[in-house]
Amino acid sequence: MNIIEVLNRDQLKEAVPEFRAGDTVKVYSKVVEGGKERTQMFEGTVIVRKGGGLGESITVRRIAHGVGVEKTFLLHSPRVERIEVGKRGAVSRSRLYYLSEKVGKAARIKEKKAKGT
């Protein structure tokens, strides 16, 4: 087996939840300010999930004070503490770039109904 593959497999996180584009997630990341480190939460809709393996990343979008903010996170980065999945979105695409032009109610995503309820 290749040495690089072994190193990459050791750094993969095991506790990555199941989610996809359209889901609402909370990403808890570590932020360094001065000499202190704290945890910051970023909640929004997953626009895109790219790549695979150690380089897999997600882009999360939210509206803050009337302005759209998009942030990209590496899933297996040590800076990302945990990811919590909130609502499941019912979308038919894997990349939701069209949401960046939508404003207000037009930018809403329907919630996927849970099975068995």
Looking at residue 116, its pLDDT comes to: 67
- The per-residue pLDDT for range 6-26, each reduced to its tens digit, is 888 888 888 889 999 999 999
Q: What is the pLDDT along the chain (117 residues), one digit of tens a residue?
A: 789 888 888 888 888 899 999 999 999 999 999 999 999 999 999 999 999 888 899 999 998 888 889 999 999 999 999 999 999 999 999 999 998 888 888 888 998 887 766
Domain containing residue 58: 16-101
Residue 72: which of 44, 103, 34, 111 has the closest Cα? 44
56 domain-assigned: yes
* CATH (domain of 76): 2.30.30.790
4 domain-assigned: no
63 domain-assigned: yes
25 domain-assigned: yes
Looking at residue 101, its pLDDT comes to: 87
Q: How many domains does the chain have?
A: 1
Residue 75, SS3 per DSSP: coil
Q: pTM for the complete prediction?
A: 0.86
31 domain-assigned: yes
Looking at residue 44, its pLDDT comes to: 94
Torsion of CA 96, 99, 100, 102, to 10 degrees: 170
Contact 48, 58 (CB under 8 A): yes
2 domain-assigned: no
110 domain-assigned: no
75 domain-assigned: yes
Query: Average model confidence (pLDDT) for the chain?
Result: 90
Residue 25: which of 12, 41, 38, 40 has the closest Cα? 41
Sheet holding 80-85, edge to edge: 67-74, 57-64, 36-50, 24-33, 80-85
